[in-house]
Amino acid sequence: MTKVNVLYFASLREALGRSGEALELPAGVATVAALRAHLAARGEAWQALGEGRNVRAALNQRMAGADAVLEAGDEVAFFPPVTGG
């Protein structure tokens, strides 16, 4: 199995009540988009990661698109877009 480290930042961390977790990826979860869908299926609070939500992802500390492929040991971070002023 493929194990990744998932981190949650800002309002996502608050909504989910955790800053991160180590996660064994189930079969068929091999991209950032598939991971988001898998997490969103956990229930109500997890809908913050659901499709259509404005959430950014970083893979190993680099911005990543939905189609980025996950590998064992990767770090995936999810966070809302950041605005400045």
pLDDT in tens, 8-67: 999 999 999 999 999 999 999 999 999 999 999 999 999 999 988 899 999 999 999 999
Buried/exposed code over 43-63 (b: 16+ C-beta within 10 A; e: otherwise): eeebebbeeeeebebbbeeee
Q: What are the pLDDT digits (tens) for 15-27?
A: 999 999 999 999 9
Residue 49 carries which DSSP code?
A: G
Residue 85 placed within a domain: no
Q: Could you list the residue range(s) of the whole structural domain that residue 30 is in?
A: 2-79
Q: How many domains does the chain have?
A: 1
Domain of 71, CATH number, reads 3.10.20.30
The whole-model pTM stands at 0.93
